[in-house]
Amino acid sequence: MLPVKAAIFDIGATLVTGPPVAPNKVIAKLIGVPAADVGSIIMTNDLKSAEHVCKALASRFGALSDDATYEICRLWDSQADAAQALEGASDAVIALKNAGLKIGLLSDIWNPYYESVTKALPEVVSAADAIVLSCRSGSRKPDKANFELMVRELNIRPSECIMIGDTYTHDIQPALEIGMQAVWVLARPDRESDSITKILNGKYLAPSATVQNIADIKQIIPLA
Ligand SMILES: [Mg+2]
């Protein structure tokens, strides 16, 4: 790997762990619509409260039942406390910050879960020089728009960045394609078997490096 000046971190399953079922899937089940459609609403709009979420969903899918509305409010509240820091995550980010790297956070996320991230990893959020969230930018991975926005916000070239994330198709592939280096945190290999197979067969670009968990990245990031 070449020396870099910035480290950009995915959040979910890279720095924090949370409930096993994603919120768009919970809502999709409640109102009987595809999870991907719910995700495209709640993850790419800057919805400030559960009431705003219900209003946005109703305008797309029709009126929500009282039960669904109640459960969505409960989900919002639970998400605001749901993120738990992964062991070594904060230390890893702070070590790179102290080594002189700029720090970016780049996540597909909705507001309540981001709030819980700020509680779980306050030092990481404070250390960040740029934070690009799908609910504020309006774009989601694997679209490269947020990667390009991050590069502009850090005022740096893609080749000077290293992306660190757990999902090959959403974190590693777009980063490599715009010229960043990328470290794959293979924390959930069972979910990544398709990408692993394609990399081994030469169909996908290989990551710059792979680690088993976030605590291992400190040793392998080359500093400029
Ligand atoms: Mg992730």
How high is the pLDDT of residue 1?
Answer: 77
What pLDDT was estimated at residue 218? 84
- The DSSP letter of residue 125 is H
Query: What is the Å distance from ligand 1's center to 52 Cα?
Result: 25
Q: How confident is the model at residue 219 (pLDDT cuts 50, 70, 90)?
A: confident
What is the distance in A from the centroid of ligand 1 to the CA of 28?
20
Cβ contact 167:185 at 8 Å: no
CB 109 within 8 A of CB 11: yes
Q: How much is the pLDDT for 221?
A: 82
Rounded to the nearest whole angstrom, what is the distance from the C-alpha of residue 168 to the centroid of ligand 1? 9
Task: Please give the pLDDT value at position 159.
Answer: 96
Domains of the chain as residue ranges with CATH: 6-17+84-219 (3.40.50.1000), 23-79 (no CATH)
What is the 101 CA–ligand 1 centroid distance (Å)? 21
- Going from the Cα of 31 to the center of ligand 1, the distance in angstroms, rounded, reads 25
Q: What is the percent of the chain with per-residue pLDDT over 70, rounded to a whole number?
A: 100
Query: Dihedral of the CA atoms 138, 143, 144, 146 (nearest 10)?
Result: 20
Number of residues that make up the chain: 224
**48-82: pLDDT as tens digits:** 999 999 999 999 999 999 999 999 999 999 999 99
Q: Sign of the CA dihedral 104, 16, 144, 205?
A: positive
CA of 224 to the centre of ligand 1 (A): 26
CA–CA gap between residue 40 and residue 57 (Å, rounded): 10
Confidence of residue 224 (pLDDT cuts 50, 70, 90): low
- Distance (angstroms) between ligand 1 centre and the Cα of 158 equals 20
Distance 120 CA to ligand 1 centre (A): 16
Q: Rounded to the nearest whole angstrom, what is the distance from the C-alpha of residue 10 to the centroid of ligand 1?
A: 6
Four-point Cα dihedral 46, 148, 217, 43, nearest 10: 20
Helices and strands, number each (H, E), in the chain: 11, 8
Q: How far apart (Å, rounded) are the C-alpha atoms in residues 117 and 128?
A: 13
CA distance 153 to 161: 12
For residue 175 the two structure tokens come to: 């980063």
Please give the Cα distance from 112 to 135 (Å, whole number).
11
Mean pLDDT confidence for 95-114:
97
pLDDT, tens digit (0-9, with 9 covering 90-100), for 193-218? 999 999 999 999 999 999 999 999 98
User: Which residues, in sequence order, are CB contacts of 194 under 8 Å at separation 6+?
Assistant: none
Cα 164 to ligand 1 centre (Å) = 9
CB 118 within 8 A of CB 28: no
The number of CA neighbours under 13 Å toward the Cβ of 86 is 21
Q: Classify strands 209-211 and 181-185 as parallel, antiparallel or unpaired.
A: parallel
Q: What tens digit of pLDDT does each residue of 126-184 get? A: 999 999 999 999 999 999 999 999 999 999 999 999 999 999 999 999 999 999 999 99
Cα–ligand 1 centroid distance for 32 (angstroms): 25
Q: What is the C-alpha separation between 151 and 138, in angstroms, rounded? A: 17
pTM for this one? 0.96
